[in-house]
Amino acid sequence: MRKEVAMMPDRMKNYVDTMSDDDVLILGIPEEEETTKGIISPPPKKKRNIWAICSIALMGVIGIISIGLFCVHRPMGNNNSRDNYVLSDSVHTENSKDIILENCGFSYVATKDTIIGKTALKLFWPMGGSIKLHVGELPKNNLSIILAARAADYRADNGEIVGAFVQEGELRARGNSKLGFCAVIGNEVILGMSKETPFFERAVERSGYFFRQYALVHDGAQGEQTPKGQSIRRALCYSGEGLFIAESRERISYHDFSEALIRMGVQEAIALVGSKEMALYEDVYGTRHVADLPHDKGMTESYIVWVKDL
């Protein structure tokens, strides 16, 4: 075996190797001897203790900050507690995303303000409840409703609902000028973008709900062509974290709103009728926030609502 030759102190030049293969040799100079010769001047124990304390304290501060940032930025919908309904993918086709809702007790709406790029958003996460469509003036005194937002558009000439609309299996309107759709059949919610879809007929057959709106996001990308102009935007969204409603805090275009939703990780989103503020929601403390929105006389209003299962 080739031996490496290293520089050794003068006092080791006459060293005779008497070691066997099983022996261990510790090279170096005893600490006491090194200290007396001035080769090493170890810092006083007090200083080492101070540095150790400072290091531990710094690590503790970093840990606390990390936990705080995690809690602040944690998606509010990713909560598997008893208070949530559980959301899971059922079937993902080219045209739709299926979501299963399972009620787990206490129902309320969690809210969160966030900024995506330059777009300020407010998110409404329904925790529990079942989804229905309501036609007509919103019954604000109905305490079973924990979240309500305007759903389909209505025509300016006759006030009728735009696009196909089904309420508890009853056909209220026809049309497919908008490609986005939402179907609610039992505890299943389907969001998608398609001119023709079997979920419309299924909603009629199974006493479900169905309405059409602009598809802002489809399969994680920009959806259909939308009108230009700026307004307060609102959308029913699905991401890997759950089903929620997002609204812009300022007037923006559909395009910019869609881009913000995509950057946030939304996979499917259809527009909802914009208004000055959310029509109604109930927070975790039981406080009901009800907007003073005027009822449009002669127009057929429609709402998507989350209702407590009493």
pLDDT tens string 155-197: 888 889 999 999 999 999 998 889 999 999 998 999 999 999 9
The verdict on residue 29 lying in a domain is: yes
- Copy the structure tokens of residue 146: 């924990």
The verdict on residue 79 lying in a domain is: no
Range of the domain at 31: 19-73
pLDDT tens string 256-305: 999 999 999 999 999 999 878 899 999 999 999 999 877 777 789 999 99
> Same domain for 176 and 42?
no
| Number of domains forming the structure of the chain | 2
251 CB-contact burial (10 Å; exposed 0-12 / middle 13-18 / buried 19+)? exposed
Asked if residue 152 has pLDDT above 80, the reply is: yes
> Same domain for 62 and 108?
no
pLDDT band for 17, please (50, 70, 90 cuts). Answer: low
> Same domain for 63 and 105?
no
Asked if residue 11 has pLDDT above 90, the reply is: no
The verdict on residue 80 lying in a domain is: no
pLDDT band for 310, please (50, 70, 90 cuts). Answer: low
Within 8 A by CB and 6+ apart from 58, the residues are: none
Q: Which of 9-13, 63-67, 174-178 has the highest mean pLDDT?
A: 174-178
pTM (global) more than 0.85: no
Phi, psi angle pair for 298, to nearest 5°: 85, -5
DSSP string of 170-192, one letter each residue:
EEEE---SS-EEEEEETTEEEEE
> Same domain for 54 and 162?
no
Which pLDDT does position 54 carry in this prediction? 58
Average per-residue pLDDT for the chain? 77
> Same domain for 134 and 187?
yes
pLDDT tens string 78-118: 333 222 223 333 334 456 656 555 555 568 999 999 999 99
CA distances from 127 to 82, 181, 229 (A): 10, 22, 33
* Region for 159 from its dihedrals, namely left if φ exceeds 0, alpha if ψ lies in -120 to 50, beta otherwise: left
The verdict on residue 127 lying in a domain is: yes
- With beta carbons less than 8 A apart as the criterion, state whether 248 and 235 touch: no
> Of all residues in the chain, what percent carry a pLDDT higher than 90?
54
Domain stops at, among 73, 105, 136:
73
Which pLDDT does position 33 carry in this prediction? 43
- With beta carbons less than 8 A apart as the criterion, state whether 192 and 90 touch: no
> Same domain for 234 and 278?
yes
The verdict on residue 3 lying in a domain is: no
pLDDT tens string 192-240: 999 999 999 999 999 999 999 999 999 999 999 999 999 999 999 999 8
> Same domain for 107 and 50?
no
pLDDT band for 70, please (50, 70, 90 cuts). Answer: very low
